[in-house]
Structure 1
């Protein structure tokens, strides 16, 4: 095997962990576990890409279906929208509004409106196939971000699991070493007290 000081020697050490003659069995176990977990983290990359690709494809199909089945109409507000909203900041206040549906009938319903929009102002309202108020359709860009997010979260989940497993193994090995060290000191103390 190449000398440990050379580049090949360092790679050889990484491929054969725990070969130091002074290492204890727990050290060798921990080194081998670290090598296996590192390999698992690397192999998780293609799995995370596959998960992200599947989520992207699913969200893109949902975006196409929603774009084909949802209709945008302009609605006139019948009251002022409040300036602030109690609850989540991203949520818009709901205000009565009216619009003409595809049958020519006037509909009145509470719809989300940007805070501070004045009475008589117009807002976009999305309707589903049945004519019920719904949210805007998902976008292809949103599908890309969902796919990337799912892939990254999958890989981070594997990484976190491996880090936690390595930390637990390290604590266990350290505890075993400390117990063995304490037993050895107790044995030596007994021998010294008898001499």
Structure 2
């Protein structure tokens, strides 16, 4: 008999509806809880997929609306780049400079992040938000996919961890109850010394 068939046979004997009189009631409840955990995990997969899909759809729509409201304009650098974040072991230094651009016939000024070697008077492309102020560049559409997958996987992992924690706690409580019962039965078997 192979190892796999022996494992299947042992699992079959652990079923809660087993007629074996040696199987304790607590063992039946534990086996039933294990089956319930497996069923809930299987049920969590389509739920997590639905939540991930809904997150993807809303993220894709939000990104599309935000990107449509952004416009790219040429701007002139007015000041030398100033370091705003020092370089560290895990990050690069960041530099900002004041810029000027024309929008709807008006000259406007603002501050954006630039490269360290940017010269005063040079032209840089900057993205303006719906308010007409410099903002972040458009997000790639692929970030909606990342949001959807991340949400679905996080939900699935969270449900799995919660169910495994519940199963672990119940198993530990049952082990403790079994130990107490064994100790009580063993004390009842022994006779006091000298009798």
What is the correspondence of 1:75-114 to structure 2 with a 5 Å cutoff?
75-77=75-77, 78-82=79-83, 85=86, 93-114=94-115
Corresponding residue for 2:175? Answer: 174
Show the counterpart of 2:153: 152
Q: 1:133 to 1:91 in 2, by over 3 A?
A: farther
Number of residue pairs matched?
Answer: 188
Distance change (3 Å), C-alpha of 1:58 and 1:80: same
Report the TM-score when normalising by structure 1.
Answer: 0.80
1:18 and 1:27 in contact (8 A); partners too: no
Q: Supply the distance in 2 between the matched residues of 1:152 and 1:171 (Cα, whole angstroms).
A: 28
Residue 143 of structure 1: aligned partner: 144
Displacement after TM superposition at 1:105 (Å):
3.2
Distance 1:157 1:72 in 2: 41
Structure 1 pair 93/75, CA: closer, same or farther in 2 (3 Å)? farther
Residue 84 of structure 1 and its aligned partner are, at CA, apart by 5.5
Match of 1:134, SS state, is coil
Mapped contact 1:127–1:133 kept (Cα < 8 A): yes
Deviations 1:13-57 (A, max 9, x none): 57x346254322222111110110011001101000010001000
Q: How far apart in 2 are the matches of 1:117 and 1:13?
A: 73
Structure 1 residue 12 displacement after superposition: 5.2
Q: Distance in 2 between matches of 1:56 and 1:174?
A: 44
With normalisation by structure 2, the TM-score equals 0.80
Q: CA deviation at 1:110?
A: 1.7
Q: In 2, are the aligned partners of 1:63 and 1:138 still within 8 Å (CA)?
A: yes
Q: Is the 8 A contact 1:66 1:137 kept in 2?
A: yes
Distance 1:178 1:11, change over 3 A: closer
Equivalence for 2:33: 33
Which ranges of structure 1 fall in alignment gaps of 5 or more residues? none
